[in-house]
Amino acid sequence: HLGRVATPLTGGLESGDTQIYAVASGKGGVGKSTVAANLAAALAASGKRVGLLDADVWGYSIPHLFGVRRSPVVLGELMLPVPAHGVSLMSIGFFVDEEQPVVWRGPMMHKAMEQFITDTYWGDLDALFVDLPPGTGDATLSLLELLPTATLLAVTTPQETARMVATRVARMAAEIGRPVAGVIENMSTAECAECRSHTAIFGTGGGARLAAEADAPLLGQVPLDIALRDAADRGTPVVVDSPRAASALELRRIAGSL
């Protein structure tokens, strides 16, 4: 019932107070999307109005992580984000077949993202998370141009090779004058469910080193956790599915510190 919507339906972000977090990584597979999804869901669970823009156009995974398959409602020129687990979602994945590749080149991607930002009725959000494409390429840069007030959250694993590529993200941020709000180390030391021993499968120290290089705080270290992987595969963020799991506790703590 449009008549009941208090604010006029204009696209874009209603409030200049929306905190925008662009979640970045040096390369794929380090858990950038998982971290973005869980921070958004954790903040929403604490009563904040939260949006999540899936800007990882070619490797989008947000619809799957939130277990949603339906398309956004389109009202004339305006799209309404899809609500899931308290978060307002927008993703290219809502418009294409899950197993079809998105074969766009840069300019198409830029246009689509512009529309996702300005032609989506985001409403009055406290926080908007943006799941960036991995790396420091053209797509990442043009997205940051579209989001001039965004600060970066850099995700890395503890591994030295991952830290090295993530450093490029920190340097890119410095070059374009964007603050890095913090570093999140993911896939940190795993605890054995049976013997309680800890194993540093991907080594240690990557998050702390990246934080020192970026001159930003290390916001937390999310352990490698079967509960997280299992929840993700079932289409629910672990902070909602198993809020007491080790990874969920740390992700909730990080969200609370933002």
242 is in an annotated binding site: no
Contacts with ligand ADP by CB under 6 A: the residue count is 18
| 222 touches ligand ADP by CB under 6 A | yes
Interface pick for ligand ADP out of 115, 118, 229, 235 (rule CB under 6 A) = 229
31 is in an annotated binding site: yes
| 29 touches ligand ADP by CB under 6 A | yes
29 is in an annotated binding site: yes
111 is in an annotated binding site: no
Q: Pairing mode, if any, of strands 190-191 and 198-199? A: antiparallel
| 187 touches ligand ADP by CB under 6 A | yes
Q: Coil, helix or strand for 107?
A: helix
| 186 touches ligand ADP by CB under 6 A | yes
Q: How far is 145 from 74, CA to CA, in rounded Å?
A: 26
Interface pick for ligand ADP out of 42, 120, 182, 225 (rule CB under 6 A) = 225
| 232 touches ligand ADP by CB under 6 A | yes
The single residue listed with the structure tokens 């595969």 is: 233
Residue type, 54: D
Residue type, 246: A
Q: How far is CA 45 from the centre of its chain?
A: 16
Are 157 and 185 in contact by the 8 Å Cβ rule? The answer is: yes
| 31 touches ligand ADP by CB under 6 A | yes
Are 73 and 79 in contact by the 8 Å Cβ rule? The answer is: yes
Helix (H) or strand (E) holding 33: helix 32-45
| 120 touches ligand ADP by CB under 6 A | no
Which residues in the 56-95 window bind ligand ADP by CB under 6 A? 61
Q: Please, what is the minimum distance in Å from the beta carbon of residue 155 to ligand ADP?
A: 7
Q: How far is 5 from 120, CA to CA, in rounded Å?
A: 15
What does the binding site for ligand ADP look like in residue numbers (CB under 6 A)?
A: 25, 28-34, 61, 186-187, 222, 224-225, 228-229, 232, 247
Binding positions for ATP: 26-33
